[in-house]
Structures are given as structure tokens and as C-alpha cells.
Amino acid sequence: MTKVFTIASGKGGTGKTMTTANLGTALALLGKRTIILDADIGMANLGLVLGLEKSKITLHEVLAGKADIQQAIYELPTGLRVVPSGISLQGFQNADPDRLQFVMSKLVMDADYVLIDAPAGISKDGVIPLAIADEVLLVVNPELSSLADSVKIKVLTEMVGGAVGGVVLNRASSEKTMLTSQKIGQIMGAEVLEVIPEDASVRRAAAFKTPVVVMYPDSPAAKGFKRLAARIAGTKVATVETAEGKKETFIDRLARSLFGGV
């Protein structure tokens, strides 16, 4: 049976889209039929971080009734399938977010997991993704403002009949933060499913429009995303070949020169 997760956050900049991209990729690498969809039709970023920004048919065209959802699905080498939203203002104006539920009814017929990248914050377009998911995962930073805004999203989710399945504490910068995850869970009224540490590898991988779980699979953040995927899928984290001792590639050297070491 297909499980639908909406990845949401109370504010922009928490790493919600990166979480969607990496969690989806990690699930696909576990052999799960996974689709990720960018429901942030006004400020779409999912296609950008995965190199799909030039896609001719996107969720915009589907929600405008100009294309079928199957035409807007793009499969990556990892097996992950992506439904990007367009980046044009005209496409945004023509899109009808009320059609999203119909679109989802088609997607769930051919997937084990569907992840919806929801708009950040509280908006009319953001309500539907919260309501139609089996579970909402809240991406939270260890900051008071992020927590306060995410609590509002949790309340809104429950108001529209949705359910929060847990919290992903993202960009944790110290061991002290790791130890406060239980307290953050208490504040949020939901379990912290995984703590993703602050990791320069995420930024370096993003420069090449590649998920960190693919480009730097042994990095701290990648391991966190893979643990989260394994927990959701009810399986063990797949053993990956370590990059230790391997010769640094040109891409590694270029990324290091641009963004610094990890």
C-alpha cells in the first residue's frame, strides 16, 4: 500500500526541499518505488536542486489541465521519480492547486512512497498537501523561531484532518543540540525521527545538483538521511562502500575549492 508523506516546515530555509530530495533518493536506493512532487507551485525549488529546472512539462501544466501527470514524471539514474513544478510566473498563475488531490490519486497507483514538498509557512496552497498525506514530517531547525513556526504548522495540520508523523531536526550544529532533540520533541508534541547534522557536504553536492546521499554517501548528513529512510521503510540502513582511501575526483577538488573542506 502506498504511503504518502508531506514534508513541511514553518518557515523557509530549514532545508525542507533538500530533505525531500535526499529522503526520496535514499528510499529509491533501498529499492522502494518512490516519487517526489514539488507542491510549492509559487516558489518551486525541487526541480532546481535536482537539475530538472528546464523540464518542459511540470506540475504547473498538469494543474492547469494542459498535460497528464505521467508526462510530468522524470526518472533519475537512482530510480527516483520526480514531478517538478515550473519556475515561470505565468505557469503559476494558470495552475489550479485544487487539482492536486486528483493528481495524487493517480500517483499512488504506481509507488510505494510519494513525498510531497509542501510550501513553507502557512498559505492556501499549503493546506492541501497537509490534508491529503498519510503523515506530515516537519523539518525543524534547532532555533526558537523555527520551532514556533513549526508548531503552527502542526496545529494547522490537525485542524485540516491531517496527522504529524514526526520531526526531522535538520542542520544540528553540535553535540549539545543532539542532546536536546528529546526536548524539541516535547515542545513539538511529536517524536524526533532523525537528527541531520550541519554538513558542508550538502552544500557541495547541491552545487552539482546532486543529492548528498549520492555524491557523498559517507558524509554525516547522508548517513542521517539514510537512517531516516530506513526507519520509514522499516529496514536496515544499506551498507555503502566507503570513500575513505579513494583518490579525490575532479568534482571533489572543484567542490572543495569552491566551498571549502568538510
DSSP, residue by residue, 169-198:
EEEE-SHHHHHTHHHHHHHHTS-EEEEEEP
Residue span of the structural domain in which 237 resides: 3-259
More confident residue, 45 or 259: 45
> Is a pLDDT exceeding 60 seen at residue 45?
yes
Q: What pLDDT shows up at residue 207?
A: 96
Q: What pLDDT shows up at residue 236?
A: 76
Residue 161's domain is classified under what CATH number? 3.40.50.300
**Grid cell for residue 241:** 562502500
Q: What pLDDT shows up at residue 252?
A: 57
Band (259; pLDDT cuts 50, 70, 90) = low
* DSSP secondary structure letter of residue 99: G
Q: How many domains does the chain have?
A: 1
Q: Which residues of 71-99 are buried (b: 16+ CB within 10 A; e: fewer)?
A: ebbbebebebbbbbbbbeeebbebbebeb
Phi-psi region at 174: left, alpha or beta (left = phi > 0; alpha = psi -120 to 50): beta
Q: What is the mean pLDDT of the chain?
A: 89
- Closest Cα to residue 137, out of 150, 149, 146? 150
**Grid cell for residue 229:** 529512510
Contact 146, 138 (CB under 8 A): no
Digit-coded pLDDT (tens) for 170-199:
999 865 555 478 889 999 999 999 999 999
Q: Provide the CA 133 distance to its chain's centre, in angstroms.
A: 14
> Is a pLDDT exceeding 90 seen at residue 39?
yes
Backbone angles phi, psi at 75, to 5 degrees: -95, 130
> Is a pLDDT exceeding 80 seen at residue 241?
no
Digit-coded pLDDT (tens) for 83-124:
999 988 777 888 998 999 999 999 999 999 999 999 998 887
Q: What pLDDT shows up at residue 157?
A: 97
Contact 101, 153 (CB under 8 A): no
Mean pLDDT score, 61-69: 96
Mean pLDDT score, 16-36: 99
> Is a pLDDT exceeding 60 seen at residue 257?
no
> Is a pLDDT exceeding 80 seen at residue 1?
yes
Band (240; pLDDT cuts 50, 70, 90) = very low
Q: Residue 141 class from Cβ within 10 Å (0-12 exposed, 13-18 middle, 19+ buried)?
A: buried
Band (80; pLDDT cuts 50, 70, 90) = very high
